Chain A
């Protein structure tokens, strides 16, 4: 199975901060990576697929980049509603695998 490793596991940030979360795959997954946001008590929501394609309705402050084994989710200016847990998922092969999650909370 492909292992997905996110870093950091948790971070504290302030409104307006630029936030970067990294996801590393244990083998080449091309651009087949998605990013998900899960607010406390809510269902996960996809933000990005194919590494950099923004889901419809997702604010443009979110962006994704990377290919191969290293990927990045960037929030250009953190907003109050962005405090949540973020997950990456490889959709290159089966079984699919998620990263362990990155919790972004308020500094």
Chain B
């Protein structure tokens, strides 16, 4: 059974940084593309970032490019999202997602950017 377990969310001040992690279970992580998707409270889904199976290709939404960095450790079956220069509008639940076609969502971790 596929499981994606996110962690690392919390309250951070504007301009601060946070690193999200996602532990993957139930599939061969190293062979799959991975994605981050976020959802602000009461709002719709927003695609954030993509990483290729071996981590050599990344893509980002315009609103996070230059501030967020996606990475992965295939030896640990983990996906990461380093978030810098955080803004109030980055407040959202961040979901780790299997596949570049957005196959399966983890439960998410809440990031709150507020002073």
A66 to B7, CA, bound (A): 38
The answer to whether A95 and B45 touch across the interface, beta carbons within 8 angstroms, is no
Q: How many of chain A's residues touch chain B, expressed as a range?
A: 20 to 34
Also in contact, A1 and B62, with CB within 8 A (given A36-B45, A96-B50): yes
A95 to B111, CA, bound (A): 22
Q: How many of chain B's residues touch chain A, expressed as a range?
A: 20 to 34
Minimum CB–CB distance from B82 to chain A (whole Å) comes to 18
- Which residue of B has the minimal Cβ distance to A101? B44
The answer to whether A87 and B61 touch across the interface, beta carbons within 8 angstroms, is no
The answer to whether A97 and B47 touch across the interface, beta carbons within 8 angstroms, is yes
- Determine whether B31 belongs to the interface, using a CB cutoff of 8 Å to chain A: no
Residues in A neighbouring B107, C-beta threshold 8 A? 43
- Determine whether A34 belongs to the interface, using a CB cutoff of 8 Å to chain B: yes
Minimum CB–CB distance from A107 to chain B (whole Å) comes to 22
Binds A, one of B22-30, B71-79, B97-105: B97-105
Also in contact, A49 and B101, with CB within 8 A (given A94-B59, A96-B47, A98-B45): yes
Within 8 A of B (CB), among A1-39: 1, 34, 36, 38
Residues in A neighbouring B102, C-beta threshold 8 A? 34, 36, 46, 89, 91, 96
Binding site for A on B (CB under 8 A): 35, 37, 44-47, 50, 59-62, 95, 100-108
